[in-house]
């Protein structure tokens, strides 16, 4: 314990900073697992979206002219491209901020209720924010590629035979890849939410804890209890 206390002191870290950082990472990982990978029967937005994507692919193989389907994929890809390019701008700004940490820390120190920290701690906070948006960029860029794969699969689908059941392997293949792309886009979007919590750390670790809990609450309400989910389940 004494060695750990010395380690925290060498970083100019407090126990509250450590608690805020650990809670931030644990809640993010835990919520992502619960929302996307747990076997809970509770209705969720991601699961309903996967169902509707499969239904869309079933309708797609019945159409001879598939320009509508290509436009749907194009719109989905544009959303990922927008966030990927925006993330690159944010990363560039954060990298530039690393060169002005001392000046930025002095400006923040003048704000009320702000925790006074050393330059090293400030740099660690910027690094955490960098890691959050690097993660978001990789998720958005992978989502773009997966939507591109879907476009190729749609383009390679033959005209529908009288028995649509012959298309079941192709339907499943396109629906699964589209679901993967949507899930990666959703992961990148969640990183923006948690980026707000990481940003609150610059003011005070207690505020970071409060904002992290608030982000979890907002995400849960939107993905498990929203009116959008109700409408998608009824359709």
> What is the per-residue pLDDT across 15-47, written as a single tens digit (0 to 9) for each?
888 899 999 999 999 999 999 888 777 888 888
Reply yes or no on whether the pLDDT at 135 is more than 70.
yes
Is residue 145 in a domain? yes
The count of residues in the chain is: 235
**Cβ–Cβ contacts within 10 Å for residue 183, how many?**
20
Is residue 71 in a domain? yes
pLDDT band, very low/low/confident/very high, at 194 (cuts 50, 70, 90):
very high
Handedness of CA 91, 96, 98, 102 (dihedral sign): negative
User: Which pLDDT does position 213 carry in this prediction?
Assistant: 97
Structure tokens at 123: 């740099």
Across 43-57, 69-83, 102-116, 119-133, the highest mean pLDDT is recorded for 69-83
Note if the pTM is more than 0.75: yes
Distances (CA, A) of 122 to 67, 110, 198, 204: 51, 15, 12, 11
Is residue 20 in a domain? no
- Per the structure, the complete domain to which residue 69 belongs is given by 44-234
Distances (CA, A) of 212 to 20, 37, 119: 9, 21, 24
Reply yes or no on whether the pLDDT at 155 is more than 90.
no
The burial class, CB within 10 Å (0-12 / 13-18 / 19+), for 150 is buried
CA–CA separation, 19 vs 15, rounded Å? 6
The domain tally of the chain equals 1
Is residue 38 in a domain? no
């Amino acid at each position: 314990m004494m060695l750990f206390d010395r380690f925290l002191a060498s970083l100019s870290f407090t126990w509250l900073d450590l608690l805020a950082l650990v809670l931030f990472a644990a809640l993010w990982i835990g919520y992502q697992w619960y929302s996307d990978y747990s076997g809970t029967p509770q209705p969720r937005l991601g699961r309903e979206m996967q169902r509707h994507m499969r239904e869309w692919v079933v309708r797609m193989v019945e159409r001879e002219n598939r320009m509508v389907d290509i436009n749907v994929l194009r719109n989905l890809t544009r959303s990922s491209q927008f966030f990927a390019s925006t993330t690159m701008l944010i990363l560039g700004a954060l990298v530039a901020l690393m060169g002005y940490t001392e000046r930025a820390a002095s400006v923040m120190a003048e704000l009320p209720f702000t925790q006074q920290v050393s330059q090293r701690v400030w740099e660690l906070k910027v690094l955490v924010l960098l890691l959050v948006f690097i993660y978001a960029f990789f998720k958005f860029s992978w989502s773009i590629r997966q939507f591109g794969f879907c476009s190729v699969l749609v383009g390679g689908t033959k005209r529908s035979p009288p028995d649509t059941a012959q298309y079941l392997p192709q339907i499943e293949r396109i629906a699964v890849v589209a679901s993967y792309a949507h899930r990666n886009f959703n992961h990148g979007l969640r990183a923006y939410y948690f980026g707000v919590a990481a940003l609150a750390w610059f003011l005070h670790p207690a505020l970071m804890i409060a904002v992290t809990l608030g982000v979890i609450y907002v995400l849960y309400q939107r993905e498990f209890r929203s009116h959008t989910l109700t409408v998608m389940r009824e359709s």
